[in-house]
Homo-oligomer: A and B are copies of this chain.
Amino acid sequence: MVKPAALKKLLPLLKGIRLNDVNQIYSKSKSVRLQAGDHFVKEGSSKRDVAFIFSGLMRYYEVNEKGEEITTSLAWEQQFVAPRNVILFEQPSESYIQAIEPTHLMVINYDLMQEILESSPKSDSLRQYFMLQRIALLSDRVRSFVMLKPEERYLQLIEQNPSLVDRVPNKYIANIIGITPVSLSRIRNRIASQKK
């Protein structure tokens, strides 16, 4: 069970959903606190849990054939995280989901949440809203890979999410924009010397 104070942050997202349903979801959810480095999901897991991030910062990563961890995306306050393969395709997770800051989650079983929302009159529009958000985000990201050079992707990323620069190690940022940490370091160097 999650504390009411923390719940307030979730409420604006749930407008339109019956208070009763919200309460029911809350009562079935559990509050989880992770330290930096702790995992919410590990590769191979089939646990059908989703989490809402009250506070903190997480990354998705996969391990490639060379054994390197490649960070594929980030998630922070007010966002949901869930193992894509498990929820979308009912397959084991291909990714790890790990806290990289002290993180406070609300965790609930996906199917249980769906069940509760099933009857709610606004649940479809809520779901649709979240899916649209996701589609917009993903297609923007695809567009950035097709249309922009690495340096431009970096500038766009920090412009759209200024707070990330301070919170996320550059080696993760580098992966996110599809380059190596060494290369990002050079790009940052180039940008800094151009500014002078």
Contact of A138 among B62, B70, B128, B138 (CB under 8 A): B138
Number of interface residues of A (CB under 8 A): 27
Return chain B residues, CB-CB under 8 Å to A73.
Answer: 142
Q: Is B147 in contact with A72, judged by CB distance below 8 angstroms? A: yes
Roughly how many angstroms separate A136 CA and B88 CA in the complex, as a whole number?
A: 8
Roughly how many angstroms separate A89 CA and B89 CA in the complex, as a whole number?
A: 28
Return chain B residues, CB-CB under 8 Å to A128.
Answer: 124, 127-128, 131
Roughly how many angstroms separate A14 CA and B38 CA in the complex, as a whole number?
A: 44
Q: Is A88 in contact with B178, judged by CB distance below 8 angstroms? A: no
A170 at interface by CB-CB < 8 Å: no
Number of copies: 2
Q: Is B136 in contact with A135, judged by CB distance below 8 angstroms? A: no
With contact pairs A124-B124, A127-B128 given, residues A178 and B136 touching in the complex (Cβ less than 8 Å): no
- Chain B residue nearest to A89 in the complex (CB): B136
With contact pairs A128-B127, A131-B132 given, residues A142 and B88 touching in the complex (Cβ less than 8 Å): no
Specify the main secondary structure of chain A where it touches its partner: helix
Return chain B residues, CB-CB under 8 Å to A50.
Answer: none
Roughly how many angstroms separate A176 CA and B147 CA in the complex, as a whole number?
A: 10
Most chain B beta carbons < 10 A, residue from A124, A127, A139? A139
Return chain B residues, CB-CB under 8 Å to A127.
Answer: 128
Return chain B residues, CB-CB under 8 Å to A143.
Answer: 72
A85 to chain B, nearest CB (A): 10
- Chain B residue nearest to A177 in the complex (CB): B146
Q: Which A-B residue pairs are the 3 nearest by beta carbons?
A: A138-B138, A124-B124, A131-B131
